[in-house]
Amino acid sequence: MILTQIDSSTSFSYSLFIVAIITAFFLGVFLLIRSIMLWYWKVDVIVNNQIEQNRLLSVQVNLQEKQNKLLKQLIDQTGNDSIDPNA
């Protein structure tokens, strides 16, 4: 009876080891395929371009806010609310 318990325990640990190796293999293959796909579709370049676009949009918004603030100060100083900024 003790021998059968040892055999079943050894068999279980062996099958668990095989499952772990198969899982690690498929995880490695998945990561390899994923990196190839990201490189092929140039995902890193797209993400960097989007980050740069966001930065430039933020700069543009800040400049527009400064322009609006200066225009409001000009309107307040002159008391004329029909100032044409293009004149």
CA distances from 48 to 10, 43, 51, 86 (A): 52, 9, 5, 36
Tell me the CB-side half-sphere exposure of residue 79, using CA atoms within 13 A: 0
pTM for the full model? 0.61
* pLDDT at 17 exceeding the cut of 80: yes
Residue 47 tokens read as 């993400």
Mean pLDDT of 10-15: 84
10 pLDDT higher than 80: no
CB 53 within 8 A of CB 67: no
Separation CA 22–CA 25 (nearest Å): 5
Instruction: Give the pLDDT of residue 46.
Output: 97
The answer, yes or no, to whether residue 5 has pLDDT greater than 90, is no
pLDDT band at 7 (very low <50, low <70, confident <90, very high): low
